[in-house]
Structure 1
Amino acid sequence: MLNINEIKKIIPHRYPMLLIDRVTEMEIEEKQFVRGYKNVSANEAFFQGHYPEEPIMPGVLQIEALAQTGAVAILSMEKFKGKTPLFAGINKARFKGKVVPGDKLDLYCEIIKIKGPVGIGNGIASVDGKTICEAEIIFAIQ
Structure 2
Amino acid sequence: MTTEELIHLLPYQDPFLFVDEIDAISKDGVTGSFTFNQEAFFYEGHFKNNPITPGVILTECMAQIGLVCLGIYLLADELTSSKQPQIALTANQMDFYLPVLPGEKVTVVSEKEVFRFNKLKCKVKMLNSKGDLVARGLISGMLKV
Tell me which residue corresponds to 1:53: 49
TM-score by length of 2: 0.86
Separation in structure 2 between the aligned mates of residue 113 and residue 86 of structure 1, nearest angstrom: 16
Q: Name the count of aligned residue pairs.
A: 136
Tell me which residue corresponds to 2:91: 89
Separation in structure 1 between the aligned mates of residue 78 and residue 108 of structure 2, nearest angstrom: 21
TM-score by length of 1: 0.87
- Most deviating of 71-80 and 54-63: 71-80
After superposition, residues 42-121 of structure 1 pair within 5 angstroms as 42-69=38-65, 70-77=67-74, 78=76, 81=79, 82-91=84-93, 93-121=94-122
Q: 1:80: Cα distance to partner? A: 5.6
**Which consecutive segments of 4 or more residues in structure 1 shift more than 3 A?**
none
Deviation per CA, 1:28-53: give whole Å up to 9, x if none. Answer: 2xxx2111111112111111121241
Which letter does structure 1 place at the counterpart of 2:69?
V
- 1:14 maps to 2:16: no
- Most deviating of 75-84 and 10-19: 75-84
- 1:34 maps to 2:35: no
- 1:24 maps to 2:57: no
CA change 1:7–1:47 in 2 (3 A) is: farther
| Secondary structure in structure 2 of the residue aligned to 1:67 | helix
Separation in structure 1 between the aligned mates of residue 36 and residue 77 of structure 2, nearest angstrom: 32
- 1:130 maps to 2:129: no
CA change 1:85–1:56 in 2 (3 A) is: same
Q: 1:10: Cα distance to partner? A: 2.4
Deviation per CA, 1:86-110: give whole Å up to 9, x if none. Answer: 110112x100010001211111112
Q: 1:7: Cα distance to partner? A: 4.2
Separation in structure 1 between the aligned mates of residue 124 and residue 24 of structure 2, nearest angstrom: 14
The percentage of aligned residue pairs carrying the same residue is: 19
Q: 1:123: Cα distance to partner? A: 0.8
- Most deviating of 74-83 and 97-106: 74-83
Separation in structure 2 between the aligned mates of residue 98 and residue 113 of structure 1, nearest angstrom: 29
Work out whether residues 109 and 125 of structure 2, in 8 Å CA contact, stay in contact via their aligned partners in 1.
yes
Work out whether residues 6 and 72 of structure 2, in 8 Å CA contact, stay in contact via their aligned partners in 1.
no
Which letter does structure 2 place at the counterpart of 1:113?
V
CA change 1:80–1:50 in 2 (3 A) is: farther
